[in-house]
């Protein structure tokens, strides 16, 4: 068994965050229920993204819609930048801002 290819995981955090935020189903990144998901970079923290040599963890708040759509969009966006690593996706809530509370 060979070791996984070396990656500069810190350098990938911002591009992965931008790719996830560009997904139409994603409202924003989330640090998770206890605020533990994120990456510390010099002078700042990127919430909702953790990349290791063996996996990628992404936590988001999504717009209402099919969960499969959210999953497909996020996995495709992350896999394009970090191929070969499993993507763990967590959904921390729905952004219902602007929806009519009374409904149809």
Predicted pLDDT at 16: 98
> Sorting pLDDT into bands at 50, 70 and 90, what band is 3?
very low
Residue 103 lies in a domain: no
In a domain, 44, yes or no: yes
Within-domain flag for 104: no
Q: Is residue 42 part of a domain?
A: yes
The CATH number given to whatever domain includes residue 72 is 3.30.70.1350
Domain range spanning residue 62? 9-94
Band (pLDDT 50/70/90 cuts) for residue 98 is confident
Determine the average pLDDT of the residues in 35-39: 95
Q: Is 65 left (phi over 0), alpha (psi -120 to 50) or beta?
A: left
24-61: b or e for each residue (b if 16 or more CB lie within 10 Å)?
ebbbebbbeeeeebbbeeeeeebbbbbbeeeebbbbbe
The domain total for the chain is 1
Do residues 91 and 63 lie in contact, with contact meaning Cβ atoms separated by under 8 Å?
Answer: no
| Ranges of H-type helices in the chain | 9-21, 67-81
């Amino acid at each position: 068994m060979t070791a996984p290819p070396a990656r500069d995981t810190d350098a990938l955090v911002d591009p992965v965050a931008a790719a996830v935020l560009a997904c139409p189903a994603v409202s924003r990144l989330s640090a998770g229920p206890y605020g533990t998901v994120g990456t510390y970079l010099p002078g700042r923290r990127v919430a909702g993204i953790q990349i290791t040599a063996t996996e990628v963890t992404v936590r988001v708040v999504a717009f209402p819609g099919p969960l499969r759509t959210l999953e497909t969009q996020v996995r495709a966006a992350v896999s394009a930048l970090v191929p070969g690593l499993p993507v763990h996706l967590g959904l921390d809530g729905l952004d219902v801002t602007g929806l009519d509370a009374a409904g149809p």
